[in-house]
Amino acid sequence: MDSYQYRFLVDQDLQDILLAFLSAMTFSAFEEKEGEILAFCPADHATPELEAHLSNLQSQVPFKYERQLIPYQNWNAVWEENFTPIIVDSFCGIRADFHPSISNVKHEIRINPKMAFGTGHHATTRMMIQMMKDLPLEKSKVLDFGSGTGILAILAAKMGALLIDAVDIEKPAYENAIENCQLNDVDVVQVYLGGLDAVLDSGYDVILANINRNVILDSLKTLYNKLKRSGILLISGILQEDEELVLNSAKTVGFTIDEKKRLDKWSCISLIS
């Protein structure tokens, strides 16, 4: 399928706020540069409704944008040109197949960067990886909600989780997660296409949810019910200014706050059921 690349020009101090809004739309991949955001979506998602949403959003966050059609056969070339390896402390390294192996990290993950959000570059993914380092994942049962490329599910497997369910609403993400699990010789991850209702299981020790504020708020009760007693919900994709709203909602459904981390205006929070 052909895709559209949207190029958003925005003041640097508003960039994270704009990205949070865009993440709740039908875009399935992002790249951040200084003063601009590149967002990608399948051609059939570039509807008049999306254009109307963007027009309304301009009254809240000043920005300009342009879009460009990218033929399907050029998609991988676009990502390969822009994708660079990521090293998160000495804990985890993420690279594409065309990069050399990363030394001096405990866990190395290989991905084929295609049309799926979650290549590890964004602050929210980096914080999730950093906080996963201290999670009791050995022999655990894990759900990766909004799995994108499958990075967090693959990392959980490398950390010793016995059973991992991963789910994403975007078909390109679903397909890419399956491919990346195979690339990393991970066979304990079951990938589902759809929303949270596509995963019928429960009793998870840990749930990972790097999505966005609105989806997290709408899903808190269901996530609470899918966890074991004293299970851990690790969430990100939340701007620091929305942190209090999310925490108050989490307390309402029964969660207690375990730990918080902040980076580049974003928050990552560990909650206990």
Q: 233-242 pLDDT, tens per residue?
A: 999 988 888 9
DSSP, residue by residue, 61-106: S--EEEEEEE-GGGHHHHHHHH---EEETTTEEEEETTSPPPPS-S
Q: 100-113 pLDDT, tens per residue?
A: 888 889 999 998 86
First to last CA, the chain: 41
> Token digits for 200?
């019928």
d(CA 108, CA 98) in angstroms, rounded, equals 14
Q: 50-77 pLDDT, tens per residue?
A: 999 999 999 999 999 999 998 875 656 6
Q: 135-151 pLDDT, tens per residue?
A: 999 999 999 999 988 99
> 89 in the Ramachandran plot: left (φ > 0), alpha (ψ -120 to 50) or beta?
left
| pTM of the full structure | 0.76
Domains of the chain, earliest start first: 3-79 (3.30.70.120), 122-272 (3.40.50.150)
pLDDT for 269 equals: 96
Neighbouring C-beta atoms of residue 6, cutoff 10 Å: 20
Q: What is the mean pLDDT of each run of 10 residues along the chain (273 residues)?
A: 88 86 82 84 89 93 92 64 80 86 91 62 87 95 94 96 94 89 96 94 96 90 96 93 93 95 90 96
| CB-side neighbour CA atoms (13 Å) of 220 | 25
Instruction: Name the average pLDDT for the chain.
Output: 89
